[in-house]
Amino acid sequence: MKKKDLDSIRGKTVEELSKMADEKRNEITLTYAKIKAGQEKNTSKVKSLKQDLAQIMTIARENEIIEASKPKEETK
């Protein structure tokens, strides 16, 4: 993932990031299937997809920690 892509991802909510992670997981599964079927020759594509997934999950966790550390506003 490029640096500017990561910067745009950091602005997303945890829910959006979880959807992106699910999409990456599906893409990894499909790529594995294509490699086994002989349709995909680029076997290093799975490695880059896994790295992208890890980056998305790391950013999601960072956002969860930031949201949890914010003080809760009291409603009256």
Distance of CA 21 to the CA centre of its chain: 4
Amino acid code (one letter) for 45: K
pLDDT band for position 75 (cuts 50, 70, 90): low
- pLDDT digits 0-9 by tens, 2-53: 888 888 999 999 999 999 999 999 999 999 999 999 999 999 999 999 999 9
Residue 5: the pLDDT is 86
Residue type, 27: E
In a domain, 54, yes or no: yes
Tens of pLDDT along 49-74? 999 999 999 999 999 999 889 887 76
- The answer to whether position 21 is within a domain reads yes
Q: Is residue 60 part of a domain?
A: yes
Structural domain of 32: 15-67
Which token pair is 63?
A: 């956002």
